[in-house]
Structure 1
Amino acid sequence: MSSIIALIEYEEGWREKPYLCSEGYPTIGYGFKIGPKGAPINLYQFEISQSVGRLWLNEILADLQEKAFAHTEIRTAVAACNDARKAVLISMAYQMGISGLLKFRKALKAIADQRWSDGKTEMLDSRWARQTKKRALRHANQMLSGVWFDGY
């Protein structure tokens, strides 16, 4: 799981103090939502250390994978993937939630069928790709190549 940790750390960055994410949720650490959308950030008066953040991240990712793999569409796609490709799917579920990843029906099917180019195309034909262009492109290229992005 250490490579997926490095991927999430790279993509999310680290903040020890609460902040509002781009979607307006109070957030801390490696992109951990800590409150409802639109809640005033001044209600969150605490900090966490990076070591605590890493513990949270490990626990969150373990739970996320267990819940994500309970869905046939995700489990089937993951089964076709090497570790670099699997990490992309986990990262997408981390960022968008499992329900968000499940909306990528065509991409998941293409990935399950090992049609990597189609998977990349479907990943980039999305609201997610329009909102987080660089991240989506890195992930889509990693899905296509099956090789870890060099920056993690």
Structure 2
Amino acid sequence: MSEIIQILNFEEGYKEKPYLDTLGYPTVAGGIKIGPQGASLANYTFTVPRAAGDIWKQIILQGMVAEMKTYPAIVAAMAQCNPARLDILESMAYQMGVPKLALFKKALIFISNGDFISGANEMLNSAWARQTPSRARRHADVMRNGTYDIYKGLI
């Protein structure tokens, strides 16, 4: 059973009130961008309760999964994944966008061949892993092992 919403809320950090993300985008509810880079938070005076934010993310993910299915390499990798590994591909797509996930060509080939250890290693051999090392290590662990064990007690 998928844990994607809990993973995203942990990795993105859930905040009901708008905040600026690390790149300066107004964001709310665990990584949902709501405005252009550099926009003032004074423009955003609402809150998003956790239940509403979780539904909002689920709808975003539905569109993202549909987009993922337009990339043959991602489709091939998804076909080999159990729910935990699928959640990791979805989390990566959520964080960086589907086109950037598609650039993980070697990792996706390894995953599509069922070589999850090499796929995880390729995930860690990336600018993404250097930018978000803790998240990347957790994601690689799930890809490697196919379990949510690394997240026990966190989500």
Counterpart in the other structure of 1:58: 58
* One-letter amino acid of the structure 1 residue matched with residue 21 of structure 2: C
Q: CA deviation at 1:2?
A: 4.4
Counterpart in the other structure of 1:89: 89
Q: CA deviation at 1:138?
A: 0.2
Q: CA deviation at 1:82?
A: 0.8
Q: Percent identity?
A: 44
Q: CA deviation at 1:41?
A: 2.0
Contact 2:27 2:35 in 1 (8 A): yes
Q: TM-score, normalised by structure 1?
A: 0.94
Task: Say if 2:13 is the partner of 1:9.
Answer: no
The alignment yields a C-alpha RMSD, in angstroms, of 1.3
What is the 5 A alignment of 1:110-149?
Answer: 110-148=110-148, 149=150
Contact 2:12 2:31 in 1 (8 A): yes
Q: CA deviation at 1:36?
A: 1.2
Show structure 1 runs of 5+ residues with no match.
none
What is the 5 A alignment of 1:39-50?
Answer: 39-50=39-50
Counterpart in the other structure of 2:79: 79
Deviates more, 1:44-53 or 1:125-134: 44-53
Give the whole-Å Cα distance in 2 for the aligned partners of 1:147 and 1:138: 11
Counterpart in the other structure of 1:33: 33
Q: TM-score, normalised by structure 2?
A: 0.92
Give the whole-Å Cα distance in 2 for the aligned partners of 1:67 and 1:74: 10
> What per-residue deviation string (whole Å, max 9, x for no partner) do you get for residues 8-58 of structure 1?
122112111111101111100011000111222222222121121111011
Give the whole-Å Cα distance in 1 for the aligned partners of 2:108 and 2:23: 25
Show structure 2 runs of 5+ residues with no match.
none
Deviates more, 1:129-138 or 1:61-70: 61-70
Aligned length: 152
Q: CA deviation at 1:131?
A: 1.0
CA 1:122/1:63 → structure 2, altered by over 3 Å: closer, same or farther?
same
